[in-house]
């Protein structure tokens, strides 16, 4: 008997060991708030499909479609809506097809920030205009040493994360921005006197931007100098995915870092790797600032003394070199197929 025959039981175990990851990738959770859009896949101009009127409301909410009369929406895919789809695809760096293809609907159904993608002006002097600001480029202004305070609401909380866990997350998130701009952030003891007020809220919570339940809108941070940073309390917020097993868990640090960008004056960026890109999938993390994020915020506040872009590039290289479970599965699957190929050659040829 060829020695490789003895490997068969072990070879058969490899796909079983990694099947949990594959199942998660195949059955990624849909956004509860917008999952009804899935039946619209491949809809294009000239179609009339039930549910398009609701999708038009989504496009209007995020700045892609102007609706003079919201009560007069139809389920027709007309020229105007095609233009909105083209704009959406172009803005979020998707293939511009003008129809609701799978990639576009996947993006639409992804959980995201509640701030519109078009309450902004492109960054000046930026050769490829990616990062953007709110109209008028509002920013925080202070004489002397630039310091901003923040505080987490003692009442607008969630009961499954401790106050210390939430504080630690926001401390790290603010530190990321402080590493690149000459602004220092301090946690205030008095919530009411803080420049930035952070809390977890549900549904209509009085700021004109109601939350919509699990996934959908994750959070919103308002432009300077409002200082309001609100997170949807209906989400399953996580500070450690190894402990939080929910398929719809959302990384708190990633969302916190994004919303602080809004609080500082950055609007959404179409760069998919940027922290300021508007969406974040469940059980994923994105809190390391990209070159686009840094260039944008430094146009508002200047560069931290001593900061160099080489620091950022080294950080990005380090992040890029980290293996994920997905990368390990790809490697293992390739290894398994290679060994299987050797086995077939040896036994049957």
Q: Which residues are catalytic?
A: 259
Query: Binding residue per annotation — 299?
Result: no
Going by C-alpha positions, the residue among 44, 40, 63, 61 that lies closest to residue 52 is 40
Q: What is the pLDDT of residue 67?
A: 81
> Domain residue spans in the chain?
3-27+324-348, 35-108, 121-307
How far from each other are the two terminal CA atoms of the chain, in whole angstroms? 14
- Looking at residue 288, what is its pLDDT? 97
The answer on whether 326 is annotated among ligand-binding residues is: no
Is 262 labeled as ligand-binding? yes
Q: pLDDT tens digits, residue range 276-304? A: 999 999 999 999 999 999 999 999 999 99
Q: Is the peptide bond before 331 cis (omega within 30 degrees of 0)?
A: no
Q: Using DSSP, how many helices (H) and how many strands (E) does the chain show? A: 10, 9
Q: Do the annotations mark residue 212 as ligand-binding? A: yes
pLDDT digits (tens, 9 = 90+) for 133-173: 999 999 999 877 899 999 999 999 999 999 999 999 999 99
Known binding residue 113? Answer is yes
Can you give the pLDDT at residue 74?
Answer: 93
Q: Is 130 known as a binding-site position?
A: no
Task: For the beta carbon of residue 271, count every other beta carbon within 10 angstroms.
Answer: 19
Euclidean distance between CA atoms 168 and 272, whole angstroms: 26
What pLDDT, on the 0 to 100 scale, is given for residue 122?
Answer: 52
The pLDDT value recorded for residue 71 is 73
Give me the CATH code for the 35-108 domain, please. 1.10.101.10
The Cα–Cα gap between 19 and 161 comes to: 30
The two three-digit tokens of residue 108, written as one number: 């639409």
Q: What is the pLDDT of residue 121?
A: 54
What CATH class does 121-307 carry? alpha beta
Is 123 annotated as ligand-binding?
Answer: no
69 is in an annotated binding site: no
309: tokens are 């872009």
Parts of the chain with a pLDDT under 50: 3-31, 123-127, 320-349
Asked whether residue 220 is marked as a ligand-binding residue, the answer is yes
Q: Which of 273, 278, 312 is nearest to 294 (CA)?
A: 312
DSSP H helical ranges for the chain: 8-17, 19-26, 52-61, 79-91, 102-108, 163-178, 252-264, 291-301, 309-320, 325-348
């Amino acid at each position: 008997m060829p020695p490789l025959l003895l490997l068969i039981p072990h070879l058969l175990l490899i796909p079983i060991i990694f099947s949990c990851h594959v199942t998660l990738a195949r059955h990624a959770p849909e956004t509860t708030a917008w999952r009804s859009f899935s039946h619209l896949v491949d809809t294009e101009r000239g179609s009339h499909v039930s549910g398009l009127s609701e999708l038009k409301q989504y496009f209007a909410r995020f700045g892609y479609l102007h609706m003079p009369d919201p009560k007069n929406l139809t389920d027709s895919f007309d020229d105007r809506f095609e233009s909105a789809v083209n704009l959406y695809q172009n803005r979020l760096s998707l293939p511009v097809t003008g129809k609701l293809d799978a990639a576009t609907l996947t993006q639409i159904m992804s959980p995201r920030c509640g701030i519109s993608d078009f309450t902004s002006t492109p960054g000046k002097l930026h050769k490829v205009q990616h990062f953007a600001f709110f109209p008028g480029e509002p920013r925080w202004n202070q004489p002397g040493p630039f310091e901003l305070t923040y505080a987490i609401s003692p009442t607008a909380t969630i009961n499954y994360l401790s106050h210390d866990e939430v504080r630690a997350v926001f401390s790290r998130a603010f530190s990321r921005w402080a590493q690149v701009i000459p602004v220092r952030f301090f946690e205030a003891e008095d919530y009411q006197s803080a420049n930035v007020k952070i809390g977890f809220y549900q549904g209509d919570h009085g700021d004109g931007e109601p939350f919509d339940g699990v996934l959908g809108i994750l959070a919103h941070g308002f432009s300077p100098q409002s200082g309001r940073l609100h997170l949807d309390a209906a989400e399953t917020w996580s500070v450690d995915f190894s402990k939080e097993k929910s398929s719809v868990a959302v990384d708190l640090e990633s969302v916190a870092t994004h919303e602080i960008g809004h609080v500082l004056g950055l609007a959404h960026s179409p760069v998919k790797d940027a922290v300021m890109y508007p969406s974040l999938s469940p059980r994923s993390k994105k809190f390391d600032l990209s070159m686009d994020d840094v260039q944008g915020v430094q146009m508002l506040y200047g560069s931290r003394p001593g900061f160099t872009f080489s620091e950022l590039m080294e950080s990005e290289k380090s992040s890029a070199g980290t293996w994920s479970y997905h990368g390990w599965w790809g490697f293992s699957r390739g290894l398994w197929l290679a060994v299987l190929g050797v086995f077939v050659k040896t036994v049957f040829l």
